[in-house]
Amino acid sequence: MTTTASAARRAKRLLRWYPRSWRTRYGDEFAELLTAEFSEHPRSWRRTANIAWSGIYARLTTGGLTGHALEPSDQVRASLASLGGALAVFLVFGTAMWAQLTIGWQWAEPNTLGTSAAMITMSAVLLLFAVLAVLAVAPLAWTLLAPIGRRPGNGLGRPTILFCCGVAVLIVGARHFGNGWPGTGGHHWIHQGLVPGGVAAFVWAMTLSISSYWAHPAALLSFPAAEVAWMVLSPLAIVGVAVGATKVVRRLDMSPRVLRYEGRLGAVAASAMGAYLVASCCWIVDGGSGPRNLFHAGAIDIVGLVLMTAAAVIAGRTAHGARRAGLGFRLP
C-alpha cells in the first residue's frame, strides 16, 4: 500500500515536467504506465532524463516552438504567445540599452557616425514597435470586449487583471522615478536630445532594474531604499504584463481573420527585432565612444545583446510558425 502510494507520488512529481494541457489529456494514463514501470525497474536515471526531456519538448510544442503540427488556430495562438514572451525579453533589454544611450544624448551628441546612426535606427524601430503594439492590441481588445470573447469559463479575467495591474504599476512607478532624473526637471539641455527628456527618463526608470549595480551590492546599498525597492518590484510588474498578455492571447477566442492579421504583425515585429539587433551591434562595434564616455558599452550591454539575440531567434521561429499556420485558414 505504502509502495503504491509512493509510486503514485513519484509519478505525480515526474508529470510536473509536462504542461498542464498535456497532463489533462495524458496525465492519468501516463501515471499508470509509470507506476507499472516503477514496479519493474524501481530506479532508472535514463527514464527520468527521458521524461524530463519529453516534458520540456511538450512545453516547447505547446508554445509553438517545435515542428510538431498543432491544430491551425492553436498553432497561431501558441506561436503568438511565445512571440509575445520573446518580444517582452527583447524589449526589456533593448529599451534599457536605448534609454542609457538616449540619456547620454541629452548631455552631448555622440561624435561618431556609427553610434549616431545606431541610435537613430533604434529609436525608429522602437517607434515602429509602439505602432505595432497599438495595431496588435486594438483587435484583441475588441474581441475581449465582444460577447464571443467574454464567453464564461474561458479564464480571461485573471490574466487581463494581471496585465492591467502590471501596466499601471509600470506607468505610475516609471513616472515617479523618472521625475527624479535631472533631465526632466528643467535643466537647459532638455531639448537637445534625440527624443524629449521626459520620454528618455520614463523609459530609463521603467528599465532601472537592468543594471550592473546588482554585481556591486556595496554601491547598491548607497541608493535610496525606494529606488532599490523599485528595482526589485518593476521586473515583477514586467513579468505580470508579459504573462497576462500571453495568457490572454492563448485563451482568447479570436476569429481566423484576427489570427491571420496578428500573425502578419508578428512577422513584422520579428523583422523589426532583427533591424534593432543590427543597430545595437553597430553601437557596440563602434566602441561606444563619445564625450565623457557617455556612450560606453559595458558588460551588461553585451549580456543584453546575447539575450536579445536569443529572443529574436525564438521570435523569428514563432512568427514563421504563426504565419505558416495562419495561411492554412480558409477565410469566409
The residues of the shown chain that bind other proteins, judged by CB under 8 A, are 22, 25-26, 28-34, 36-37, 46-47, 50-55, 57-58, 67-72, 74
Q: Which is nearer to other proteins, 10 or 175 (CB)?
A: 10
Q: Three-state DSSP class for 332?
A: coil
Q: Which is nearer to other proteins, 71 or 227 (CB)?
A: 71
Distance of closest approach, residue 144 Cβ to other proteins, in angstroms: 22
Question: What are the CA-CA distances from residue 187 to residues 106, 173, 238 (Å)?
Answer: 10, 22, 30
Q: Which is nearer to other proteins, 32 or 227 (CB)?
A: 32
Number of Cβ within 10 Å of residue 153's Cβ equals 5
8 Å CB contact between 140 and 252: yes
8 Å CB contact between 307 and 89: yes
Distance of closest approach, residue 31 Cβ to other proteins, in angstroms: 7
Distance of closest approach, residue 36 Cβ to other proteins, in angstroms: 4
8 Å CB contact between 35 and 7: yes
The distance of Cα 309 from the centroid of its chain, to the nearest Å, equals 13
First to last CA, the chain: 58
Q: Which is nearer to other proteins, 31 or 231 (CB)?
A: 31
Question: What are the CA-CA distances from residue 179 to residues 108, 182, 203, 263, 327 (Å)?
Answer: 20, 8, 11, 38, 47
Distance of closest approach, residue 330 Cβ to other proteins, in angstroms: 11
Q: Which is nearer to other proteins, 51 or 241 (CB)?
A: 51
Distance of closest approach, residue 132 Cβ to other proteins, in angstroms: 29
Number of residues that this document lists for the chain: 332
